[in-house]
Amino acid sequence: MADSQTPAPLADFTAAMTGGQTFRLLGRPAKATVLYFYPKDNTPGCTTESLAFRDLHERFKAAGVEIYGISRDSLRSHEGFKAKLELPFELISDPDEAMCLAFGVMKQKKMYGKEVRGVERSTFVIDADGRLVKEWRGVKVPGHVDEVLEFVTRS
């Protein structure tokens, strides 16, 4: 999956996720891991994106790829969002923004004419060796999940 210029592995990290589990970046059995960062549970764009990953989950799974959604929401919020949308994958809670900062997704954004600090919708593909092999920043939801699936299945 790596480009001709192989990047160094990312630093390992752990984080709390739904289902009472702990996410650990390195040592995952998957061919690749998709981490999609989104601003907030139960908002229109985040719901649409999560549903798109849900609807294509079996195809990602068949390709040996694991999917995880990440936002600053609490585990309680994530559990409700996951149940409401019937998501077949886990959501990672990052209330202290450690993962958001590590991946550089915290940005100044305009919301209703005001400057706010928030998560820039972004997706990252990490290979089985813990190397970042693809990233999408400033994601527009329509067609994005299809593009991610195409990347992981041809790599």
CA 136 to chain centre: 11
Residue whose structure tokens are 């997704």: 105
Alpha carbons within 13 angstroms on the beta-carbon side of residue 51 total 11
Instruction: Establish whether 46 is a catalytic residue.
Output: yes
Residue whose structure tokens are 């549970």: 41
Check 15, 35, 46, 70 and give the catalytic one. Answer: 46
- Report residue 103: phi and psi, to 5°: -95, 0
Q: What does each C-alpha distance from 132 to 33, 113, 136, 145 come to in angstroms? A: 9, 34, 11, 18
Q: Using the 8-state DSSP alphabet, how is residue 3 labeled?
A: -
As a whole number of angstroms, the distance between CA 130 and CA 137 comes to 19
What amino acid positions are annotated as catalytic residues?
Answer: 46
